[in-house]
Amino acid sequence: MKKRHIIIGAGNAGLSAASTIARLKPEDEIEIISHEPWLPYCRCLLTYYLEGVITKKRLFSWGEEIIRKNRLNYRQNERVINVDRKNLTIECENRRQASADTILIATGGKPQKPDFPGADLPGIFTLRTFTDALAIEKKMRPGGRWAVAGAGLVSLKTIAALRRHNIKVDLFATSKRILSQVLDPYAAGLAAARLTENQVVINLNEDIVAAALAADNQLKLTTSHGRELLVDGLLYGKGVNATSPFGNENISRDDWGADQSSAPQPWQNAQDGIPVNSQLELDQNLFVAGDTAKIFDLVRRKNDRLPLWPLAGEQGLIAGYNMAEGTSHLAHHYPGGISCNAFSLFGLDFISAGYREIPNNENDWHFIEEKKGGSYSRLNFHRNQLKGFILCDSGNINSGHTNSDNLKKAGPLLARIKREALVVQ
């Protein structure tokens, strides 16, 4: 029987689900909705667009091809404000209502916004969408000066773009080191040294606490150390919350019964993400995938958000199968994800996954480490089971391939972590 599917979100999770349904059930109707005024694009490439190393055409070609090839009914610039979980209907800001046999919530994430005095001033940016990238691009001027608050991956990729335009950068982090989520202290030290060599000023244990307008469209920033600096712009990169339709942060599959499910929910942030079962269902025929889903972390063995591009695609695929074929007879299960990051900082490349550090106060852990010239590898084991690694070298992973023997180990190591996580409990 022909079915109708609504997919809210046109990121990797939404598009992966849509193309899976289109392939399995070409006769089904698929509507995919995005509140952004653009065709879908590859969000991960936004900083490379700002850097000038890829064109706008390349940024968009991925999404355009998926929409065209699968003949999807794509509705851009439309914001969904309610999902009725029992009746499987949605309501949009423009008052359009629609119903479906299955719905996927793939609404991704929202950057945390600053809340210090002056946080709303022009010149203060977050980077999540192409609209954000255009605003940042407009403000960038060669020879200018920017501040970046937060030392995670999006911040550091944006710094590479700013430096490419010969813009001076001051990086502020409240933590004791940069990239604390994805590197251990030694690897973070290598990364910091590479940034310093490239004229990035790193200020640790220091934050921006206020902003005010200054002459010539500049901003005067005040730091937690009482220092002041004049900049053209501030990129605020302090993490991303889930974008979800359910206001209750503690919502869980067990919490919500048939009675509550009929009540329309306000569309709010639930920072922790929406919990799902292994079929990626919140309730029958209502699925969640990608950055907004709380899924099983195979390595840490707990439910969590793992906001990563490849994992959003994997989950979209599983959700797509289950939306097309139903979950009552032959459901597809998502075993869980492993956090893994590959990135390059001014020619120094890193790939890390799982536990980057050994947890404090836990027994039965050991590690194997090798430091040779500028290259570094560290493998972390728990009861002889590989739980995580960090590899670092100058291997040019941005070109899509690497000559570094060290970095080439990443694929087999990741496969081993996954294999052992699935087999050994």
Ligand X SMILES: Cc1cc2nc3c(=O)[nH]c(=O)nc-3n(C[C@H](O)[C@H](O)[C@H](O)COP(=O)(O)OP(=O)(O)OC[C@H]3O[C@@H](n4cnc5c(N)ncnc54)[C@H](O)[C@@H]3O)c2cc1C
**Residues 284, 302, 183: CA angle, nearest 5 degrees:** 130
Q: Of the ranges 255-263, 308-316, 394-402, 413-421, which one interacts with ligand X (CB under 6 A)?
A: 308-316
Binding segment toward ligand X, per CB under 6 A, in 107-115, 144-152, 207-215, 228-236: 107-115
Quick one: which of 188, 190, 200, 308 contacts ligand X (CB under 6 A)?
308
309 is a site residue for ligand X (CB under 6 A)? yes
Kind and range of the H or E run holding 235? strand 233-236
* Contact call for residue 312 and ligand X (CB under 6 A): yes
DSSP 126: -
Report the SS3 class of residue 418: helix
| 44 in contact with ligand X (CB under 6 A) | yes
Is 47 near ligand X (CB under 6 A)?
Answer: yes
Contacts with 357 (C-beta within 8 Å, 6 or more apart), sequence order = 184, 380
135 forms part of the interface with ligand X (CB under 6 A): no
**E strands, 50-161, in order:** 73-75, 80-84, 89-92, 97-99, 102-105, 109-111, 124-125, 145-149
Q: Does 118 bind ligand X (CB under 6 A)?
A: no
Choose one: 35-43, 208-216, 221-229, 416-424; the region binding ligand X (CB under 6 A): 35-43
Q: Give me the least distance between CB of 74 and ligand X, in Å please.
A: 10
> Binding to ligand X by residue 63, rule CB under 6 A?
no
Judged by beta carbon, residue 108 or residue 150, the one nearer ligand X is 108
The yes or no reply on residue 80 touching ligand X (CB under 6 A) is: yes
Residue from 109, 118, 275, 337 touching ligand X (CB under 6 A): that is 109
The pair of three-digit structure tokens given for residue 131, joined into one six-digit string = 């609209």
- Does 11 bind ligand X (CB under 6 A)? Our answer is yes
Task: Mark the segment that binds ligand X (CB under 6 A) among 6-14, 116-124, 226-234, 363-371.
Answer: 6-14
Residue 137 Cβ vs ligand X, minimum distance, rounded to whole Å: 13
Structure token digits, residue 83: 């999902």
Tell me: does residue 75 bind ligand X (CB under 6 A). no
Q: CA-CA distances (angstroms) from residue 280 to 7, 295, 350? A: 14, 8, 31
Pattern 167-196, binding to ligand X, x per CB under 6 A? ------------------------------
* Residue 308 beta carbon to ligand X: minimum distance, rounded to whole angstroms: 4
Q: Which of 62, 74, 61 is nearest to 32 (CA)?
A: 74
> What is the DSSP code (8-state) at residue 181?
T
Q: Which residues contact 410 (CB under 8 A, 6 or more apart)?
A: 342, 351, 353, 389, 391
Residue 295 makes contact with ligand X by CB under 6 A = no
Angle between helices 12-24 and 56-69 (to 10 degrees): 30
Rounded Cα gap, residues 274 and 272, in angstroms: 7
Q: Which residues are near ligand X by CB under 6 A?
A: 8-14, 33-36, 43-44, 46-47, 79-80, 106-109, 127-128, 154, 157, 243, 267, 290-291, 307-310, 312
